C-alpha cells in the first residue's frame, strides 16, 4: 500500500471512529432515558437527542468524507485486507444513505423518537391508545418520507426492513412466515388438545425481587457476561445498549409472581450482551467490528434463552440453586417437572412473555400490521380492533384492553418499523446455529449439565461475534451451518421437543 493511500485510509479511520463514538454517546443517552432520567427531563432530552443527531448527520455527510471514500474506492481493492475492505464498503453505504436524507428530516425523526417514547409510556400506563395514535401516524409519515429519499424505487416498508435486516424484503420474508403460520397454528392446537398438560403452578407465587436479581446476576455471570465491562439495570422494556464492547448496558424487569419469566428475560438480554462484548476489539470503533443484523443479534439472545437455558441439561445444572433460592415453592420439584414447566406452551397476550412456539405468531401479527400501515390498507385508528382480531384468530386469546394489546411494545414509540421480523428470523438462526454446534461438539449436553458454558461462548465468539460485518447474513449462516435460512429445521425442532413433552404422536 502506497504512503498516499495509507494516509488517506488513516484519515478515513479517524473520521469513522469519531462518528462511531458520537453514536456511542447517543447510546448512553438512550440508556439513561430508559433507566434513570427524571420524569421532568424528557423534554430537554428529546432536544438533546435531536441536536446530537444533527451533529452526527453533519459529520456523516461531510463532502470531504465522501470524496475520501470515493478516492479510496477508486484504488486497487487488493491493496486492502478483509477488514479494510469491509470498512470501505460500509462507509460508502452509510455515506450514500446519510446524504440522501435532509438534516431537518433526520432531526425531526430523532426528536419524535425521544418524545414518542415518553408518550407511549404514559399511554400504556393509562390504557389510552388515542393518546399514542398521533405518534404512530407521524412516524409512518416520516418513515415513508425517509424511505423515499433512500430508495424511491423500493416499497417504503422494504427500505425500513433493510435497516434492521440487511438485504431482507417482504418478498423473502412472506413465504417464510407463511410456512411458520401454516405449521404453528395446528401444532399449538394439538398441544392444547393433548390429554397430558404439564403442571407449572409452582412457578407462580411471591418471589422477592432482591433474590431474583441476585439469581439473575449469578447466571448471567456464569454464562460469560463480564460485569467489569457491563451492567444490569431495570427498565420498562428490557433491552441491551451502551456505547462500546467495554461498556455494555443490559436491562430487565422483574415480576414478583413468576420468577422464571424474569430470569429468562435476564438470560435473553445476556445473550445480546455477550454478542456486544464479543465483538472484535482490535477494530476499535470501525464498521468491520460492529454487530450484524438484528436477526443475527436476536439469534444470540434466543440461542442462550431457548436453546441452552430451556434445555433439560441446563435445568439439571441449576435446579438445586433454584430450589435453594426459592425453597417455599421449589424444594420438592423434580427435574422433569421443572423442565416441562418452563417449556409449557400456552397462548398469551404479551409477546415478551410468550413461549417459543406461540412467539412467532406474535411477530407475524405485527409484521402484517406494519405492512398494512405502510401500504395504506390499515388505518392507525383501527389498530386496536385489527390487533385484537388477529390475536383471536392466531392464538385464540383476545386482549381485554389496549395496554395488553396494541400498546404493549416499545418499538413503534421509536419508529422502529421493520424490526419485528428479526425476532423470528433470529429464532430460526438460533436453531440452526445450535444444530451446527451440536454436530461439532458431541459433549454439548455434558458441557451444559456441568456448567461449562465457556466452551459454548468461545464457539460463538469465534464463529459469529468476532466476524463483525465481514460477511452478509446469508454468507455467515452458510459458513457456520452449511445451509441458508431454513424454517423446516425450526419446525422440526419444535415438533420433536414439544411432541415429547406433550406426548403427541403423528407429528410430521
From first to last of its 508 residues, the chain has per-residue pLDDT tens of: 688 899 999 999 999 999 999 999 999 999 999 999 998 998 899 899 989 998 999 999 999 999 999 999 999 888 899 999 999 999 999 999 989 999 899 899 989 998 998 999 999 999 999 999 999 999 999 999 999 999 999 999 999 999 999 999 999 999 999 999 999 999 999 999 999 999 999 999 999 999 999 999 999 999 999 999 999 999 987 899 998 999 999 999 999 999 998 999 999 999 999 999 999 988 779 999 999 999 999 999 999 999 999 999 999 999 999 999 999 999 999 999 999 999 999 999 999 889 999 999 999 999 999 999 999 999 999 999 999 999 999 999 999 999 999 999 999 999 999 999 999 999 999 999 999 999 999 999 999 999 999 999 999 999 999 999 999 999 999 999 999 999 999 999 999 999 999 999 877 6
Which pLDDT does position 404 carry in this prediction?
A: 97
- Rounded-to-integer distance, Cα 340 and Cα 343, Å: 5
Contacts of 206 (CB under 8 A, 6+ apart): 256, 257
What is the pLDDT at residue 508?
Answer: 63
Task: Output b/e per residue, 154-173; b: 16+ Cβ within 10 A.
Answer: ebbbbbbbbbbbbebebeeb
Predicted confidence at residue 230, as pLDDT, reads 97
Which residue's entry shows cell 457491563?
230
To the question of pTM greater than 0.85 for the whole model, the response is yes
Residue with cell 412473555: 353
Spatial separation of the C-alpha atoms in residues 462 and 63, rounded to whole Å: 37
Query: What amino acid positions are annotated as catalytic residues?
Result: 269
Model confidence pLDDT, tens digit, residues 274-332: 999 999 988 779 999 999 999 999 999 999 999 999 999 999 999 999 999 999 999 99
C-alpha span between 460 and 277 (Å, rounded): 12
Determine the Cα–Cα distance for residues 165 and 189; give it in Å rounded to an integer: 31
Indicate the class that CATH gives domain 190-346+425-501. mainly alpha
CA distance 20 to 59: 11
Looking at residue 156, what is its pLDDT?
98
Cβ–Cβ < 8 Å for 414, 113:
yes
> What letters, b where the CB count within 10 A reaches 16 and e where it falls short, cover 100-112?
ebeeeebbbbbbb
Report how far Cα 174 is from the mean position of its chain's Cα atoms.
20
pLDDT at 238: 87
pLDDT of residue 268: 96
Cell of 471: 460477511
The torsion angles phi and psi of 207, rounded to 5 degrees, stand at: -115, 105
Tell me the CB-side half-sphere exposure of residue 217, using CA atoms within 13 A.
13
pLDDT digits (tens, 9 = 90+) for 259-279: 998 999 999 999 999 999 999
Amino acid at each position: 500500500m502506497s504512503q498516499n493511500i495509507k494516509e488517506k485510509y488513516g484519515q478515513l479511520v479517524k473520521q469513522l471512529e469519531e462518528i462511531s463514538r458520537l453514536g456511542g454517546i447517543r447510546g448512553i443517552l438512550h440508556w439513561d432515558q430508559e433507566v434513570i432520567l427524571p420524569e421532568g427531563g424528557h423534554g430537554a432530552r428529546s432536544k438533546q437527542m435531536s441536536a446530537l443527531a444533527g451533529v452526527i448527520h453533519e459529520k456523516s455527510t461531510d463532502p470531504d468524507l465522501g470524496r475520501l471514500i470515493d478516492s479510496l474506492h477508486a484504488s486497487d481493492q487488493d491493496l486492502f485486507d478483509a477488514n479494510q475492505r469491509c470498512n470501505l464498503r460500509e462507509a460508502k453505504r452509510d455515506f450514500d444513505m446519510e446524504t440522501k436524507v435532509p438534516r431537518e428530516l433526520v432531526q425531526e425523526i430523532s426528536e419524535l423518537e425521544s418524545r414518542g417514547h415518553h408518550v407511549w409510556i404514559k399511554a400504556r400506563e393509562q390504557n389510552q391508545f388515542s393518546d399514542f395514535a398521533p405518534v404512530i401516524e407521524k412516524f409512518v409519515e416520516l418513515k415513508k418520507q425517509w424511505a423515499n429519499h433512500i430508495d424511491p424505487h423500493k416499497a417504503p416498508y422494504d427500505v425500513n426492513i433493510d435497516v434492521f435486516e440487511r438485504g431482507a424484503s417482504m418478498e423473502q420474508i412472506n413465504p417464510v412466515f407463511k410456512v411458520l403460520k401454516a405449521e404453528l397454528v395446528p401444532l399449538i392446537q394439538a398441544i392444547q388438545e393433548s390429554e397430558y398438560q404439564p403442571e407449572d403452578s409452582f412457578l407462580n407465587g411471591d418471589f422477592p425481587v432482591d433474590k431474583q436479581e441476585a439469581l439473575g446476576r449469578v447466571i448471567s455471570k456464569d454464562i460469560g457476561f463480564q460485569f467489569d465491562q457491563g451492567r444490569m439495570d431495570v427498565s420498562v422494556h428490557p433491552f441491551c445498549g451502551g456505547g462500546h464492547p467495554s461498556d455494555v448496558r443490559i436491562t430487565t424487569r422483574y415480576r414478583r409472581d413468576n420468577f422464571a419469566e424474569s430470569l429468562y428475560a435476564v438470560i435473553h438480554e445476556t445473550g445480546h450482551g455477550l454478542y456486544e462484548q464479543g465483538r472484535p476489539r482490535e477494530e476499535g470503533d470501525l464498521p468491520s467490528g460492529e454487530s450484524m443484523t438484528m436477526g443475527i443479534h436476536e439469534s444470540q439472545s434466543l440461542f442462550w434463552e431457548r436453546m441452552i437455558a430451556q434445555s433439560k441439561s441446563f435445568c439439571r445444572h441449576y435446579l438445586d440453586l433454584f430450589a435453594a433460592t426459592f425453597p417455599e415453592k421449589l424444594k420438592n420439584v423434580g427435574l422433569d417437572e421443572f423442565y416441562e414447566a418452563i417449556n409449557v406452551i400456552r397462548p398469551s397476550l404479551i409477546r415478551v412473555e410468550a413461549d417459543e412456539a406461540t412467539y412467532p405468531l406474535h411477530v407475524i401479527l405485527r409484521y402484517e400490521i406494519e405492512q398494512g400501515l405502510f401500504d395504506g390498507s390499515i388505518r392507525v385508528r383501527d389498530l386496536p380492533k385489527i390487533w385484537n382480531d388477529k390475536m383471536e384468530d392466531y392464538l385464540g386469546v383476545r386482549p381485554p384492553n389496549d395496554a395488553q394489546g396494541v400498546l404493549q411494545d416499545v418499538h413503534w414509540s421509536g419508529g422502529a418499523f421493520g424490526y419485528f421480523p428479526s425476532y423470528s428470523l433470529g429464532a430460526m438462526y438460533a436453531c440452526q446455529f445450535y444444530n451446527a454446534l451440536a454436530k461439532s461438539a458431541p459433549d454439548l449436553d455434558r458441557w451444559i449439565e456441568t456448567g461449562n458454558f465457556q466452551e459454548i461462548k468461545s464457539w460463538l465468539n469465534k464463529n459469529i461475534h468476532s466476524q463483525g460485518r465481514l460477511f452478509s447474513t446469508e454468507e455467515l449462516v452458510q459458513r457456520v451451518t452449511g445451509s441458508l435460512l431454513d424454517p423446516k429445521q425450526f419446525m422440526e425442532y419444535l415438533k420433536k421437543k414439544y411432541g415429547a413433552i406433550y406426548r403427541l404422536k403423528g407429528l410430521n
